[in-house]
Amino acid sequence: MLNTARTTRTAHITRTTRAGRTTRTAYAAGTTRTTRGTETQPATDVVIIGAGPAGLSAAHHLTSAGVSVRVLEAAPHVGGRMSTDEIDGFRLDRVGQLLSTSYPELLRTPLLKDADLRMFSPGVLVHRNGRHYRTTAVRSARSALIAARALASAPRHPFPGHPAALGHAGSVGHARLAAALGRLAEVPASRLLARPERTALDALADRGMPARTLLSALLSDPDLATSSRYADLTLRAFARGRLCVPAGGASALPELLAAALPEGTVETEVSVTDASITRVATKEHGEISCRSLLLATGARAAAELLPGLRVPAFHPVTMVHHTAPEAPLTDPALLLDSDPHGGPVAHTAVMSQVDPSRAPDGRVLISSTLLGAPPLATELDRTVRAHLSKLYGTRTDDWELLTVRHDPEAVPAMPPPHDPRRPVRLLAGLYVCGDHRDTNTVQGALSSGRRAAHAIMADLGVVPRTASVPAAA
HEC-encoded secondary structure of 199-254: EHHHHHHHHCCCCHHHHHHHHCCCCCCCEHHHHHHHHHHHHHCCEEEECCCCCHHH
In percent, the amount of the chain with pLDDT more than 70 equals 82
> 10 vs 190, which has greater pLDDT?
190
Q: 339-365, pLDDT tens digit by residue?
A: 888 899 999 999 999 999 999 999 999
Whether the predicted pLDDT of 77 surpasses 60: yes
Q: 327-336, pLDDT tens digit by residue?
A: 999 999 999 9
For the chain, the helix, strand and coil percentages under 3-state DSSP, each to the nearest 5: 30, 25, 45
**This prediction's pTM:** 0.86
For residues 358 and 471, give the distance between their C-alpha atoms in angstroms, rounded to a whole number: 34
For residues 124 and 133, give the distance between their C-alpha atoms in angstroms, rounded to a whole number: 8
Whether the predicted pLDDT of 269 surpasses 50: yes
The per-residue pLDDT for 467 is 58
Question: Which one, of 12, 7, 35, 32, lies nearest residue 23 by Cα?
Answer: 35
For residues 106 and 79, give the distance between their C-alpha atoms in angstroms, rounded to a whole number: 16
Q: Sorting pLDDT into bands at 50, 70 and 90, what band is 23? A: very low
First CA to last CA across the chain, in angstroms?
Answer: 41
Q: Mark 285-317 as b/e (b = at least 16 C-beta within 10 Å).
A: bebbebbbbbbbbbbebbbebbeebeebebbbb
The per-residue pLDDT for 304 is 86
pLDDT, the chain, mean: 85
Q: Which of 27-36, 132-141, 154-163, 407-416 has the lowest mean pLDDT?
A: 154-163
Determine the average pLDDT of the residues in 133-151. Answer: 56
How far from 202 is each of 205, 224, 239, 302, 416, CA to CA, in Å?
Answer: 5, 9, 21, 32, 11
Q: What dihedral angle (degrees, nearest 10) is formed by the CA atoms of 354, 355, 356, 359?
A: -110
For residues 137 and 241, give the distance between their C-alpha atoms in angstroms, rounded to a whole number: 10
Whether the predicted pLDDT of 257 surpasses 50: yes
In percent, the amount of the chain with pLDDT more than 90 equals 70
Strand, helix or coil for residue 96: coil
Q: Are 135 and 214 in contact (CB under 8 A)?
A: yes
> 39 vs 174, which has greater pLDDT?
174
The per-residue pLDDT for 14 is 35
The per-residue pLDDT for 464 is 84
